[in-house]
């Protein structure tokens, strides 16, 4: 911001100078600009682009992480198509996403609206709801694992004293994935709510005043003003949630551990990548899985970008 | 102009720090001293190791030994990736399940020529460990310590039920009879823990039943035998009768935790668990040999010191290993109470480490020790194994079917071994 303003001023101070001199100046400024972004670009190139390219290359090879990779064409992908474990993990990830994303966003919208009021101590509430976001996933996973314990956990203790059924939350295949969804929703609400809150605060009060004059009620104002004008923030949150949700790993890893039998119902794609890559050291195969996940996320994001004009209203 | 210069310098400075961060060297020489890197995962041996290294430095004042402790969860990944980058520690801990892969791929050094050269007598080490760390009759790791499995029990619960403590005459039948008397459903106490775990659980039972896990030539699986089936049926029976926590309960709450809080009366576990269990139960803790099935058996596993296959300091590293696993080093380890030293005759210190516990039980049970089952692709078949066993324990399929599947898949995996 400051930089461009400064340079604009700089240029306006030199109206009499010749054209080619200005362009020299422009080149010089561009050079400085590139120099300034060079560290970031280098960082991206070294830590993101290069590994991604390497991973793409490796997905066409067999590699144990030690010896020289052996090119095997599309073998990895052919194997993946027939791999029950991978198909199951794709399905699990999809189920997880379909449950987590809408729940998390719905709760986040409600929370954001509640946090957008002018009452005393609001900053405390906002901080409280943001705490799960900055808590380490390991800590979150460990605490929830204990809460979920079917014999000694707090949740079942409460359910038991209310004479309600006490399910085995994590170690019953019917509930395991759902239990993880609950934790993910709990951790992601805070982040989504903060984004949405900033969206809410960007909505001009004049709309509400005008609507009130016309006699619009609270609900009517929410659905006709708040929600439509919140769509840009909602869109951002939706895209990010989908991406994060497709990449879920840590909670599953911490809460399910490596109980191989029960993992069938909770293993996600990234878990599967980790397992093949760093447990069995089939780096080529794991890279192929990662590549497929990348394509899926790319398609979903592109789809969302394309359809945003149908429902996203920019003010 | 000056301003521009300072900006340029700042940027350059940023770059150099980034680049300097990239080029960390792993093994090399600092200030004329040779640096040896040592890696392991258990910080409980830190004091012992410091003392042992001081011992080594007396004869090698010009070598600096740097020890890195990597938590178990990351240890093997980190080790493998660093070895792949032609760096990695010079001397490190090796365990049974990983040994074959490392030895057969040459990632760790064949120690046999060095042993022959220094005329080291390896018969001082427990046979089961020498077997475990031999590849094609050559020793690739010098044994450090071992752990055997014993039956821990809670004296208080036995006294309450008026039952004599377990001893070496106990069999599977005695366990079952007494587990029934010790089980108290009202207070949530189980008589015995029929473990879903391999090393302290079904591996021992399989051998006690007269079966085996992998053939001596590492070519075939032993899982599809009636003996193996009988071991699992016995465990399943105890769970069904409510004498042991169910498989699901065990996956959720570690049996060690249940035993430590007085909810299990008899609990098979490795000798390394003794200090931890003693901390939890104090003088209520007792230990006996594992009960016999058709015969007595206990799985023995242990660790050894291995050398990086590409180390630049072979001589220094070899001398260090000899000190670490030498008589004095092993005595230091024993005195710390960490585990049973692999060097025969140095157990004294370990036996005295918990006076109220008869740790001699573990040393005695080495007479019927069976080495921990390993082959080149241990990790792969163990994964199949644990999944199928868990499925069967959770009632997703009968044991007959699970064991058949394990044997088939394991045989297939074993057939691909030794081909790279």
* Neighboring chain B residues of A151 at a CB cutoff of 8 Å: 188, 249, 252-253
**Would you place residue A21 in the very low, low, confident or very high pLDDT band (cuts 50, 70, 90)?**
low
Closest approach of chain A CAs to the CA of B366, in angstroms?
Answer: 31
Phi/psi for B165 (5° steps) reads -65, 150
How far, in Å, are A207, A217, A227 from residue A221 at the CA level? 9, 6, 9
pLDDT given at position B31: 59
pLDDT given at position B5: 54
Query: What are A251-273's pLDDT values in tens digits?
Result: 999 988 776 677 888 999 999 99
Query: What are A163-177's pLDDT values in tens digits?
Result: 998 888 988 888 999
- What is the biggest distance separating any 2 CA atoms in chain A, rounded to whole angstroms? 87
Q: Which of A82, A51, A56 is nearest to A292 (CA)?
A: A56
* Neighboring chain B residues of A279 at a CB cutoff of 8 Å: 379, 383
B87 touches chain A (CB under 8 A): no
pLDDT given at position B206: 97
> Does the structure show a pLDDT above 70 at A12?
no
- Which of B103, B252, B253 best tests the A interface by mutation, with the highest count of A CBs <10 A? B252
Closest approach of chain B CAs to the CA of A276, in angstroms?
Answer: 11
Closest approach of chain A CAs to the CA of B252, in angstroms?
Answer: 7
Q: Which of B298, B288, B352 is nearest to B146 (CA)?
A: B298
Q: Rounded to whole angstroms, how far apart are CA atoms B322 and B5? A: 57
Category of B188 on φ-ψ map: left (φ > 0), alpha (ψ -120 to 50) or beta? left
B390 touches chain A (CB under 8 A): yes
Q: How many residues does chain B have?
A: 420
pLDDT given at position A267: 93
Q: Which of B300, B296, B288 is nearest to B358 (CA)?
A: B288
Structure-block tokens of residue B262: 């007085």
Q: How many whole angstroms from its chain centre is CA A94?
A: 14
Q: Rounded to whole angstroms, how far apart are CA atoms A27 and A25? A: 5
Residue corresponding to tokens 């010098």? B142
The beta-carbon neighbor of B11 closest among A35, A170, A260 is A35
> Half-sphere exposure of residue B318, counting CA atoms within 13 Å on the CB side?
19
* Neighboring chain A residues of B394 at a CB cutoff of 8 Å: 261-262
Check if the beta carbon of residue A104 is closer than 8 Å to that of residue A240.
no
pLDDT given at position B393: 94
pLDDT given at position B40: 95
List the single residue in A with minimal CA-CA distance to B385.
Answer: A260
The mean pLDDT value for A153-165 works out to 92
- Which of A142, A167, A171 best tests the B interface by mutation, with the highest count of B CBs <10 A? A171
Closest approach of chain A CAs to the CA of B380, in angstroms?
Answer: 7
* Neighboring chain A residues of B380 at a CB cutoff of 8 Å: 280
Helical spans, DSSP H, in A247-282: 250-256, 269-274
* Neighboring chain B residues of A67 at a CB cutoff of 8 Å: 420
B15 touches chain A (CB under 8 A): yes
Closest approach of chain B CAs to the CA of A20, in angstroms?
Answer: 23
Q: Rounded to whole angstroms, how far apart are CA atoms A154 and A147? A: 5
Determine, for residues A168 and B248 on separate chains, whether the beta-carbon distance falls below 8 Å: yes
**Better-predicted residue by pLDDT, A107 or B24:** A107
* Neighboring chain B residues of A150 at a CB cutoff of 8 Å: 249, 252
The beta-carbon neighbor of B248 closest among A43, A171, A279 is A171
pLDDT given at position B18: 45
* Neighboring chain A residues of B391 at a CB cutoff of 8 Å: 261
Closest approach of chain A CAs to the CA of B255, in angstroms?
Answer: 13
**Would you place residue A7 in the very low, low, confident or very high pLDDT band (cuts 50, 70, 90)?**
very low
Query: What are A55-70's pLDDT values in tens digits?
Result: 999 999 998 877 789 9
Q: Kindly state the percentage of chain A with pLDDT values over 70.
A: 92
pLDDT given at position B6: 55
* Neighboring chain A residues of B420 at a CB cutoff of 8 Å: 67
Angle at B214 between CA B208 and CA B216, to 5 degrees: 100
Query: What are A113-126's pLDDT values in tens digits?
Result: 999 988 888 889 88
Contacts by residues A151-160 (CB-CB < 8 Å, ≥ 24 positions apart): A151/B188, A151/B249, A151/B252, A151/B253, A152/B253
Hey, which residues 268-327 in chain B have their CB within 8 Å of chain A? none
Start-to-end CA span in chain A (Å): 23
Q: Rounded to whole angstroms, how far apart are CA atoms A188 and A129? A: 10
Q: Rounded to whole angstroms, how far apart are CA atoms B342 and B360? A: 14
The mean pLDDT value for A71-98 works out to 94
pLDDT given at position B82: 87
pLDDT given at position A10: 47
Mean confidence (pLDDT) of chain A? 88
> Does the structure show a pLDDT above 60 at A234?
yes
ipTM reported for the complex, 2 dp: 0.70
Per-residue pLDDT of chain B (420 residues; tens, 9 = 90+): 455 555 555 555 544 444 444 433 444 445 568 999 999 999 889 999 999 999 999 999 999 999 999 998 789 888 988 887 788 999 999 999 899 889 988 899 999 999 999 999 999 998 889 988 999 899 999 999 999 999 999 999 999 999 999 999 999 999 999 999 999 988 899 999 999 999 999 999 999 999 999 998 889 999 999 999 999 999 999 999 999 999 988 988 889 999 999 999 999 999 989 989 999 999 999 999 999 999 999 999 999 999 999 999 999 999 999 999 999 999 999 998 888 999 998 988 999 999 999 999 999 998 899 989 998 888 889 989 999 999 999 998 999 999 999 999 999 999 988 765
List the single residue in B with minimal CA-CA distance to A46.
Answer: B22
Query: What are B94-115's pLDDT values in tens digits?
Result: 999 899 889 988 899 999 999 9
CB pairs under 8 A between A and B: 56
The beta-carbon neighbor of A65 closest among B14, B84, B188 is B84
Q: Rounded to whole angstroms, how far apart are CA atoms A235 and A304? A: 8
Determine, for residues A171 and B252 on separate chains, whether the beta-carbon distance falls below 8 Å: yes
The beta-carbon neighbor of A261 closest among B15, B81, B387 is B387
B9 touches chain A (CB under 8 A): no
B19 touches chain A (CB under 8 A): no
């Amino acid at each position: 911001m400051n930089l461009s303003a400064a340079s604009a001023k700089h240029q306006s101070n030199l109206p009499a100078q010749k054209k080619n001199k200005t362009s020299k100046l422009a080149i010089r400024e561009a050079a400085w600009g590139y120099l300034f972004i060079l560290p970031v670009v280098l960082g991206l190139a070294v830590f993101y682009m290069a590994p991604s390219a390497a991973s793409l290359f490796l997905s066409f090879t067999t590699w144990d992480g030690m010896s020289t990779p052996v090119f095997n064409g599309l073998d990895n992908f052919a194997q993946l198509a027939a791999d029950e474990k991978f198909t199951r993990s794709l399905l699990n990830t999809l189920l997880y996403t379909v449950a987590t994303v809408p729940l998390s966003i719905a709760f986040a919208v409600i929370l954001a609206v509640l946090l957008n009021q002018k009452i005393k101590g609001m900053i405390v509430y906002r901080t409280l709801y943001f705490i799960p976001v900055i808590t380490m996933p390991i800590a979150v996973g460990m605490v929830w694992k204990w809460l979920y314990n079917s014999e000694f956990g707090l949740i079942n203790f409460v359910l038991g004293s209310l004479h309600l059924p006490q399910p085995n939350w994590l170690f019953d295949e019917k509930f395991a994935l759902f239990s993880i969804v609950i934790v993910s929703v709990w951790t992601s609400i805070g982040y989504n709510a903060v984004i949405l809150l900033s969206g809410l605060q960007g909505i001009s009060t004049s709309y509400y005043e005008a609507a009130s004059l016309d006699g619009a009620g609270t609900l009517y104002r929410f659905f006709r003003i708040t929600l439509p004008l919140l769509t840009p923030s909602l869109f951002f949150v939706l895209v990010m949630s989908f991406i994060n949700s497709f990449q879920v790993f840590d909670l599953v890893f911490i809460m399910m551990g490596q109980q191989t039998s029960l993992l069938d119902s909770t293993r996600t794609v990234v878990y599967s990548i980790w397992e093949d890559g760093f447990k069995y050291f089939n780096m080529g195969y794991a890279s192929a899985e990662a590549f497929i996940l990348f394509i899926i996320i790319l398609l979903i994001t592109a789809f969302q970008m394309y359809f945003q004009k149908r429902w996203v209203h920019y003010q | 102009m000056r301003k521009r210069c300072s900006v340029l310098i700042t940027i350059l400075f940023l770059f150099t720090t980034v680049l300097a961060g990239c080029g960390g060297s792993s093994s090399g020489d600092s200030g004329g001293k040779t640096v040896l890197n040592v890696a392991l995962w258990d910080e409980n041996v830190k004091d012992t190791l410091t003392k042992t290294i001081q011992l080594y430095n007396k004869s090698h004042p010009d070598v600096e030994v740097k020890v890195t402790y990597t938590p178990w969860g990351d240890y093997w990944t980190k080790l493998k990736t660093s070895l792949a980058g032609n760096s990695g520690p010079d001397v490190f801990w090796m365990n049974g399940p990983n040994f074959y892969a490392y030895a057969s791929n040459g990632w760790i050094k064949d120690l046999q020529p060095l042993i022959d050269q220094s005329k080291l007598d390896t018969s001082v080490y427990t046979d089961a460990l020498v077997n475990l760390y031999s590849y094609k009759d050559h020793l690739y790791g010098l044994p450090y310590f071992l752990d055997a499995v014993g039956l821990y029990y809670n004296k208080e619960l036995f006294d309450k039920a008026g039952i004599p403590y377990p001893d070496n005459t106990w069999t599977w039948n005695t366990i079952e009879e007494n587990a029934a008397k010790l089980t108290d459903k009202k207070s949530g106490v189980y008589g015995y823990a029929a473990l879903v775990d391999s090393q302290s659980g079904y591996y021992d039972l399989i051998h006690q039943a007269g079966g085996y896990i992998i053939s001596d030539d590492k070519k075939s699986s032993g899982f599809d035998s009636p003996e193996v089936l009988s071991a699992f049926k016995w465990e399943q029976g105890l769970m069904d009768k409510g004498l042991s926590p169910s498989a699901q309960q065990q996956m959720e709450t570690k049996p060690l935790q249940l035993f430590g809080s007085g909810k299990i009366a008899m609990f098979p576990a490795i000798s390394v668990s003794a200090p931890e269990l003693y901390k939890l139960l104090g003088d209520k803790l007792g230990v006996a040999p594992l009960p016999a099935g058709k015969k007595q058996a206990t799985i023995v596993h242990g660790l050894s010191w291995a050398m990086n296959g590409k180390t630049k300091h072979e001589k220094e590293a070899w001398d260090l290993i000899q000190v670490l696993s030498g008589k004095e080093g092993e005595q230091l380890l024993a005195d710390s109470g960490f585990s049973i030293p692999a060097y025969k005759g140095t157990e004294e210190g370990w036996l005295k480490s918990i006076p109220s516990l008869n740790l001699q039980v573990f040393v005695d049970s080495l007479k019927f020790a069976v080495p921990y089952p390993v082959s080149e692709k241990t990790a792969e078949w163990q994964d199949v194994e644990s999944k199928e066993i868990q499925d069967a324990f959770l009632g997703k399929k009968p044991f007959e079917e699970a064991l058949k599947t394990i044997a088939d898949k394991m045989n297939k995996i074993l057939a691909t071994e030794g081909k790279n």
